[in-house]
Structures are given as structure tokens and as C-alpha cells.
Amino acid sequence: MWLYRAVLLLLTPIVLLKIRQFKKNYTAYRAKEAFGFWPSVEADLWIHCASVGEVLAVRPLVLQWREKFPTRRLLMTTMTPTGAEQVAKAFPFAEHRYLPMDWRCSVKRALKQLTCKHLLVVETELWPNLLQQAKRQGLRVEVVNARLSERSFLRYQKFSLVSRPLFALPDCFLAHAQADAERFDALGAKKVLVTGSIKFDLAVSAEVFQANWRRQLGSRFVWVGGSTHQGEDEMLLRAHKALLQKQSNALLLLVPRHPERFEAVYALAKQSFDRVALRSQIPLAQWSDFDVVIGDSMGELMYYYQASDMAFVGGSLIKRGGHNPIEPALLGKTILVGPYTFNFADITDQLLQVNGAVRCQDAEQLESVVLDLAGQASQRYRLGQTALRFAEKNQGAVTRVLTEIDFR
């Protein structure tokens, strides 16, 4: 732990700068909580989610737990203000705190204000000081939807002096797949069970279908770049430029992963297109007047996917590892991914094997596939229906997780 704490000390200026940025950009951000100054809180279950993606992923689990234990108290923590906003929207019955930054003094200060015996960590958000102090305080710690890519596994192996004690702290890892489970075992985890991905159990909200953005956009071809990162937007915009030469009324919905990039991506799109809009400024009824709409909103990714005929899942054309392809699959959409999908390797590989998605190795192939599939409605339908059947077949992880976890 001394090595980790030394590295954390060196990173302190960067952490403080991030807290300052949050405070500047989000007026409701409670910076004191990041330093461990929590108001006292009592809960029967504490769930930690890093940000928006994890909050959305855990929604089916929380709702089923709530149905099973309607009178029990729930605490949810996030690192980011956007995650906090999503908690307030999805779980109004839950108490929210910002997770203290992983300085030992901050963590100890926060946990002194907490009365709780059970912590669920969503995915592999493992903070050494947090886990160590939680165990010392008597909390049972379980990691749900636990996944570990080969790349991350090899990185942890290089620092086994730190990683092995870390992976021995949780009482149980509830893993995505057998490959993840084997990696956790190799890193010294006490107990590992394979329960599948709770992200398959994501229920598309009734509001998405009721809003029906797709119907409001008419018969034009619409494709979406979902959760894109720096370096990908240029590739999608270039592909869309080529597409407009064949289908002059085509529309690209470009949805950056991080809100701090909204304005930069808007400016980038303006360099190549005259008709560019921000979702926050233009009503849906007027989107037909534009070539590109920048999705500068949080928590609406499923709405964008529902509006599309074809969905590119971001973070996969660069070495980011890709995001969740299950979301467009549950809407029966044609799915495109890039070559880098190691964050969801098992799910993506299986989806590709059953012909429920198309992999594009680079920008040139992305452009070629977009141009090809834009003119083939029947092929898009077959791809989308295959993806939907695959997603539905793999549901049930939430029930398995709730069966394995003792909530007494």
C-alpha cells in the first residue's frame, strides 16, 4: 500500500484540479464530500458507481432489490456530478454522496459518518484505501458486473505487490464471464462467481418508446455515433461527408462521451458542415434542417439510439476499449464497432460471431460500411434483429446476482 499511497501523493495536484473543475462547472457539486466531509448517513445497502454509465447499468439491479426490500435504505455514491444527476433522476428514493478521493484521511473521515454493513461496487472501481477502510469498519464488500480486460490484467500483474492485496479485499467478485473470473482468480481474489452481465438486463424505459424520436425524424436515414471520444469524431464526420454525396438528407447524431467535449465537437463539425446544431438549442421538429446534430445532453443515449437506423458504438476506433453494445442491441439497431473493444471483449465477440454487429478496422472501412448499409434497409433489419435476439437470450444476470448476494 505504501507504493500506491506514494503515487497518489504525486497525483494530488491533478486530483485537486479535477475537483476544482467540477466545482466550477457544476454549481450543485458538493466538493467537501470529496474530501470526506460527509453528513451522517444510515443505509442498509451502499452501491458505488463511478459515473453515468455505471448508474444506468445498475438500474435493473436496484429496482429489483427495491421491489424485494421496499423499506430498506439505499446509499449511492458517484465520483462525478453527471453521475449524481443520473442517480437523482433514476433513484429518487436513494441518498447520494460523492465518494471521497482515495486519500486515507478523507476515506476514514467519510466512513466515520456512515452506518452500513454492505457495499456493492459496480464493475471494477477498486480504490485501495476505500476497500481497506471499509473492511476495517466491518462492511461486506462485493464487486458486481465485475470485468477485467486482458490488457488491464497484464498491467495489474506487473504491479502484483500492490494488486494482489487489493484483489484479496472484496469478499466476492460477481464476474461478467469465465475469462474475467479466471483473471480475478489469478490476481488473488478470495471468491469469484460468474453471473453474467447485468447490462443485458437493462430495460429500455417506456419514455424512450413514448418519445419515439425515430418517428419524428421521418423517413430520412439517421445514424448515431454514441459515446465518442477524441480522435473518433473526425472519422465519423468524414464518413458522413461521403454519405451526404449519396443521400443528401442523411443525418448524423454525434454524441460525445464527456460533456466537457460538447462545444469542441460542435466546433469541429462546423468546420466540415454548414448545417450543424446542438440538441440543447434546436427542437426535435427542426432536426430535419441539419446535417449533423451534436448530442449535448446526459442520460439520453437510448433516445439517440432509438432515433437511428444504425449505431456506431464509440471508444472503439481508438485504443479506449469501446462502450456497451447491448444498448443499441436491445433496440434492434444495426451496430458498428471499431477494432478496439477490449472493455466488452466477450460480449462484442459473441455479438460479432452471431452476425449481430459489424466490425470496422479503421476510418476507411467505417466509411465503406456506412455507405453500403445506408442503402440496404433489409440487411440493417436482419442485423438489428439478430442483435436483439442475442441481447434477450443473455438476460437474467440480475436475478443470479440477487440470488448469490446475502442482503440480510
Helix 397-404 to helix 52-68 angle (10° resolution) is: 60
Rounded to 5 degrees, what angle do the CA atoms 62, 145, 53 make?
70
User: Hey, which residues are catalytic here?
Assistant: 54
How many Cα atoms sit within 13 Å of 223 on the Cβ side?
29
Question: Which residue's C-alpha cell is 473543475?
Answer: 21
Give the chain's largest Cα–Cα span: 63
Gyration radius (Cα) of the chain, Å: 22
Whole-angstrom CA distances from 30 to 80, 84, 89, 297 are 10, 10, 17, 21
Of 118, 106, 107, 153, the residue nearest 45 (C-alpha) = 118
Which residues, 6 or more positions from 2, have their beta carbon under 8 angstroms from its beta carbon? none
Which one-letter DSSP state was computed for residue 142?
E
CA distance 41 to 44: 10
CB burial of 396-406 (b: ≥16 within 10 Å; e: otherwise) equals ebbbbbbeebe
9 burial level (CB within 10 Å; 0-12, 13-18, 19+): exposed
At position 375, the amino acid (one-letter code) is G
End-to-end CA distance of the chain: give it in Å, rounded.
32
CA distance 209 to 288: 20
Whole-angstrom CA distances from 143 to 17, 20, 197, 331 are 29, 30, 12, 28
DSSP SS3 for 94: coil
CA distance 176 to 156: 18
Phi then psi dihedrals of residue 47, to 5 deg = -120, 125
Question: How many helices and strands, by DSSP H and E, does the chain display?
Answer: 19, 16
